[in-house]
Amino acid sequence: MRKARRKVLIGEVVSNKMDKTVVVAVERIVRHPIISKPIRKTARFKAHDEHNQAKVGDVVEIVETRPLSKEKRWRVRKIIKTAD
């Protein structure tokens, strides 16, 4: 039996007001089914940030993990780009 890989997403930190938690907005572009115009869809995920390193505006990589709380199912793997 093959082990399933964990999902990895890249997004921007939009909130870091909680302790050890950041909110990451992941944006994707989908085509509208009727008018065929590209539309941006944003999903927001709560991710665990053990050392409170991620700041608002940072681009981070998050990875799926076991449930850590009621809404937290992701953790920050690394900070790709820091906010200026």
Specify the pLDDT at position 82.
93
Domain coverage including residue 50: 8-81
pLDDT score for 83:
86
Question: What does the alpha-carbon distance between residue 29 and residue 32 come to, in Å, rounded to a whole number?
Answer: 10
pTM over 0.95: no
Look at residue 21 in the predicted model and tell me its pLDDT. 97
Q: How confident is the model at residue 3 (pLDDT cuts 50, 70, 90)?
A: confident
Classify residue 1: in a domain, yes or no.
no
Whether residue 3 is contained in a domain is answered as no
Q: Decide if 20 is inside a domain.
A: yes
Residue 69: give its domain's CATH number: 2.40.50.140
Q: Count the domains in the chain.
A: 1
Query: Which pLDDT belongs to residue 61?
Result: 98
